[in-house]
Every structure is written in C-alpha cells, then in structure tokens.
Amino acid sequence: MPRYLKTAAAQLGPIHLADSRASVVARLIDMLRDAHASGCRFVVFTELALTTFFPRYWMEDQAEVDRFFEASMPGPDTRPLFDEAKRLGVGFYLGYAELAEEDGGTHRYNTSILVDQDGGIVGKYRKVHLPGHVDHLPEAPFQHLEKRYFEVGNLGFPVWRTMGGVLGMCICNDRRWPETFRVMALQGAEMVVLGYNTPTTNIYHDEPLHLRMFHHRLSMQAAAYQNGMWVVGTAKAGKEDGHGLYGGSCIVAPTGEIVAQALTEDDEVIVFDCDLDLGDYIRRTVFNFDKHRRIEAYGLITERTGVIPPPTR
Ligand code: CDT
C-alpha cells in the first residue's frame, strides 16, 4: 500500500539587504498557498530563509550580526506563516539564524525546524557541518563566515515520526557528508529535507558552475539511493545584492532519481507526490542494514576526524 506525502520544495529567489522580514514572509506565504493549491501537505523552505545569506559579509560589531538572528520562533514577523500553514493544514521545514539563551549564555546556531500540519514545532535541528572560515579573507571575492557567526550544532541528527512518516532534517553543507544521512537512516528516516544557500563561485578554487551543480545533485542522489530515502533540497537562489547563489532545488526519490527540479533562480514551487514506502525494497534488499552492514570495519569513522596516511618508507 503506497503511503503518499505530497511535498513541495519552495525555492526562494534572492533576498537583498534592504528587504524586510515581513516582505520575505509574505513571499513564503504565497508559495505555501501555491503548494496547498497543488495538493501539498508539506512544504520545504530553505536555509536562512528570512534574510540575505549574511555570512558573506565581514562584520565586527556583534549587534550588526544579531540583526539577522531570531530570538523567538515563531516571532512577530514569522507568526503569519505559522498561522496560515495551520489554517491550510500544511506542515513545513524552515531554516533561520537562531539566537538561543541556554545554559546561562547566548548561543547562535544555523537552525531548521519541522512544523507539523497542526502548526506545532515537532523538531529542531542545528547545523553540524559549518563550512567556510573564521577570519577575514580580504583577498576573497566575498566571505563565507559560518564558522565565525555560528556554533556547531549540538542536537545531533534526530528524526521525528510526523506527517505519516519518519522525517529528518539537515542544512546545506550537511548534504555533502554521507554520515549525515546514514545516521538518520539508522533511525528509520524515510525522508530527509534540507535548505541550502550555495554561492555560484568557490572562493578557494576556480570551479565551473556546472561542476558545482553536479556535486550538489551527486551528493543528494547518492544519499537517497544508499539509504533508500527521499531527499528534498530547497535553494535560496539568484543574485543577492550582486552575489550569486545557484538554484537546482530538487526532489530525489529513494531510487536516486530526480523526480522534480526547479527551472529558475527565483521563487518557484516544485511538487511531487512522494510514496514513503518506495524505499522499502531498497532497505530490504541491497541496503538491508541489518544483514549487510559490518560495523566492526567502520571504527575509524567515529574515532578519527582527519586523514592519517601510512608512513612513507
Ligand atoms: N550554506 C552552505 O553551507 N553553503 C555551502 C557552500 C560550500 S561551497 C562548496 C554548501 O555546501 O553549499
């Protein structure tokens, strides 16, 4: 018996520094309504969906950085999105910069939440694989300061039984790391959803755009197949105050096939009716973890972070 969750990836076009949170939330609500009109019951928005991709800017004044963070979720600007989603009975994934007062201190994370069809926050994830650098790189065409502005996520990779399935989340650079998906697959994840802001330019290496897009798809398609799960990746795309982010939002089936993909670099909703049971045969056969995984051979995965080659003779 198929078990369908009609899902949308709601790609967001550029957000400029001058754009207000309210104007962005209005765009998210428009896409939520479009997705609902197509019969969707779950919408995946992007990473840092409420602001421009601010880690590209070097800022020394913490107050300036904190303008991009949310101290509460929902807050006054995001409440209309929650209200409309609840009214329509549509769940969603939303990425944002989180300012958390915890353990007697202030913490900043690159965060996503999962909101169910009744409007309740059922899950929170804080980005684990933060890309980029801490220091100012004045020679670079732009900065990528996630390692400066965020702490490494401290919630691991949990999954949630919600919306008729077992769902997990990750964020942007996490999609390039196979461990991300395998940890969630080991908890029974049937669908992993993520948002991303990926610059069109690699600041460290001259890399053609087609190759960057290939790596994006390669990572998500391999993860889907190797874990027998749906993977939904939603971009923030287009030129933000002149800085390019690629599009390529897509929905990937557990077979590894792309079943829907965005055509533009603007606000665009893509839809697929995802059968959460489709990955069953993969998880029962070639990737039957119980039968075929050999954890006695995998120790280095958690014991060692970097590469230590054998000594030269
Ligand atoms: N936001 C984010 O994590 N972006 C990174 C850029 C890294 S460039 C290879 C990404 O993995 O897309």
Strand order in the sheet with 250-252: 159-162, 165-171, 191-196, 230-235, 250-252, 258-261
Write down the catalytic residue from 40, 47, 98, 268: 47
Residue 72 — pLDDT band, cuts 50, 70, 90?
A: very high
Determine which residue's CA is closest to atom 9 belonging to ligand 1.
Answer: 202
Determine which residue's CA is closest to atom 10 belonging to ligand 1.
Answer: 173
Residue 102 — pLDDT band, cuts 50, 70, 90?
A: very high
Write down the catalytic residue from 172, 190, 250, 274: 172
Determine which residue's CA is closest to atom 12 belonging to ligand 1.
Answer: 198
What pLDDT was estimated at residue 50? 98
Q: Which of 70, 71, 97 is nearest to 153 (CA)?
A: 97
What's the rounded mean pLDDT across residues 262-278?
Answer: 98
Question: Does the pLDDT value for residue 216 go beyond 80?
Answer: yes
Residue 6 — pLDDT band, cuts 50, 70, 90?
A: very high
Ligand 1 centroid – CA 65 distance (Å): 19
* Cβ atoms within 10 Å, residue 275: 17
Average pLDDT of the chain, as a whole number: 98
Q: CA neighbours within 13 Å on the CB side: how many for 125?
A: 30
Pocket of ligand 1 contains residue 172 by CB under 6 Å: yes
Contact 40, 80 (CB under 8 A): no
Could you give the percent of the chain with pLDDT greater than 90?
99
Substitution site in 15, 125, 197 for ligand 1 pocket (most atoms within 8 Å of beta carbon): 197
Over residues 284-301, the pLDDT tens digits come to 999 999 999 999 999 999
CA 198 to chain centre: 11
Residue 304: which residues within 8 A CB-CB, separation 6 or more?
Answer: none
Q: Is residue 172 annotated as part of the catalytic site, yes or no?
A: yes
Distance separating alpha carbons of residues 115 and 124, to the nearest angstrom: 9
Distance separating alpha carbons of residues 200 and 160, to the nearest angstrom: 33
Question: Does the pLDDT value for residue 150 go beyond 80?
Answer: yes
Q: Which of 111, 141, 143, 146 is nearest to 131 (CA)?
A: 146
Pocket of ligand 1 contains residue 143 by CB under 6 Å: no
Q: Give the nearest ligand 1 atom to 172 CA.
A: 3
Element containing residue 87 per DSSP (H, E): helix 79-88
Distance separating alpha carbons of residues 192 and 232, to the nearest angstrom: 6
Residue 213 — pLDDT band, cuts 50, 70, 90?
A: very high
What pLDDT was estimated at residue 193? 99
Question: Does the pLDDT value for residue 1 go beyond 90?
Answer: no
Ligand 1 centroid – CA 220 distance (Å): 13
Ligand 1 centroid – CA 6 distance (Å): 27
Q: List the domains of the chain with CATH numbers.
A: 4-303 (3.60.110.10)
Residue 313 — pLDDT band, cuts 50, 70, 90?
A: confident
Q: Which token pair is 122?
A: 């059922």
What's the rounded mean pLDDT across residues 237-266?
Answer: 98
Could you give the percent of the chain with pLDDT greater than 70?
100
Q: Is residue 40 annotated as part of the catalytic site, yes or no?
A: no
89: left (phi over 0), alpha (psi -120 to 50) or beta: left
Substitution site in 173, 246, 250 for ligand 1 pocket (most atoms within 8 Å of beta carbon): 173
Can you tell me which residue has the tokens 């919306």?
Answer: 163
